[in-house]
Structure 1
Amino acid sequence: MALDRQTVAKRYGKALFEVVQEKDVRSDVLLELAEIKKIIDAEPKFITFMTSPSIKQEEKLAMIKNITDGASEVTTNLLDMLFDYGRIANLEDVIDEFNRLNDEFEKTVRVKVTTAIELDEDQKEKLASSFANVVGAEKVLVDSVIDPDIIGGVVMQSESCVYDGSIKSRIESIKRLLIK
């Protein structure tokens, strides 16, 4: 029975997180996985290359060796194992799950902040601090997005929480009340 992407990511991500905790190399592996994720983002055809039946195994193994050159034993073993078990296509999902578990461990929340205009650093820090208090996080990482369609205000979205204080949503709410 084939496992879906989410199940594979959860199993491998959890196992990886437990291993790095046990070996006390969490921060090193976190940095290495961030670099691998940059490679995947920069080269979207990487996964296609690694899963293509027309590419020789030796070339794929050479690519993995090139990526893991200088990496920790844990990171190298992860890529080797994913490749050997035919799960290299799930690499990005596994990294995402590992990052999610790490954020949970560090009580960190990632939030997408959408505004109509660019925010300065002080505004971002104030929003992050307020959001941290609401969700009980020790640290909030802000990903700022500009969307003029929201007209004004702010929309904050994390994995488990959405706060929509945009003028656009307030106008929509007034419209719904007027239509009733």
Structure 2
Amino acid sequence: MALDNPTVARRYSQALFEVAQEKGQLKDLSLELNELKKGLLAQPQFIIFMASPAIKPEAKVAMINAMTEEASDLTKNLIMMAYDYGRIANLVTIIDAFNNLYDEYEKVVRVKVTTAIKLDKEQEDKLSDSFAKLVGAKKVIVNPQIDESIIGGVVLQSKSYIYDGSIKTKIERIKRLLLK
């Protein structure tokens, strides 16, 4: 039975996280994996090249060796193992799952902040600090989004929490009350 992408990502990332934690390399590995992810997203033809049956295995291994020349052993081993087991296409998902584990370990929460207008740095920092206290996080990383349809206010959305303080939602609530 073939494993689905989330299952593969969870297994590989958990094993990678545990090894990196044992070796005291979590932070460095996280930074390196995020650079790898940027490269994979910027060069989607790499996955096509690695998955192609028309390309000789020696050429694929040579490509991996060239791209990991200056990478840590953990990153090299991850890429090589993903290649050996036919999981190269899962690398981005594995990195995302690793990032989730690392964020949880470091008590970092990523939050999408939707507003009708662009927030300045001070406003983002205030929202970040307030949200960190609310969810018990050491650090909140804000991903700002602009959606003029919310009219005003703010919508905060993390993996496990949604706060909708938009004017659009408040108007909708008033409409429902009036229609009762």
TM class, shorter-chain normalised? over 0.9
Q: TM-score, with normalisation over the residues of structure 1?
A: 0.95
Amino acid in structure 2 at the alignment position of 1:28: D
Matches within 5 A, 1:139-154: 139-154=139-154
Displacement of 1:58 after TM fit? 2.8
Amino acid in structure 2 at the alignment position of 1:146: I
- What residue in structure 2 maps to residue 55 of structure 1? 55
When residues 56 and 179 of structure 1 are mapped into structure 2, their CA distance, relative to the original with a 3 A threshold, is farther
Cα offsets for 1:68-111 (capped at 9, x unmatched): 12000011000000000011111011101110010011000000
Structure 1 regions of 5+ residues with no counterpart?
A: none
- What residue in structure 2 maps to residue 178 of structure 1? 178
Q: TM-score, with normalisation over the residues of structure 2?
A: 0.95
When residues 174 and 56 of structure 1 are mapped into structure 2, their CA distance, relative to the original with a 3 A threshold, is farther
CA distance in 2, matches of 1:166, 1:45: 41
- What residue in structure 1 maps to residue 12 of structure 2? 12
Displacement of 1:24 after TM fit? 1.2
CA distance in 2, matches of 1:172, 1:63: 55
Displacement of 1:51 after TM fit? 1.7
Find runs of 4+ consecutive structure 1 residues off by over 6 angstroms. none
CA contact (8 A) 1:109 1:141 kept: yes
- What residue in structure 2 maps to residue 118 of structure 1? 118
Amino acid in structure 1 at the alignment position of 2:108: T
Cα offsets for 1:104-161 (capped at 9, x unmatched): 1100000011111111111001000000011010110111111111111111110100
Identity among equivalent pairs (%): 62
CA distance in 2, matches of 1:62, 1:172: 59
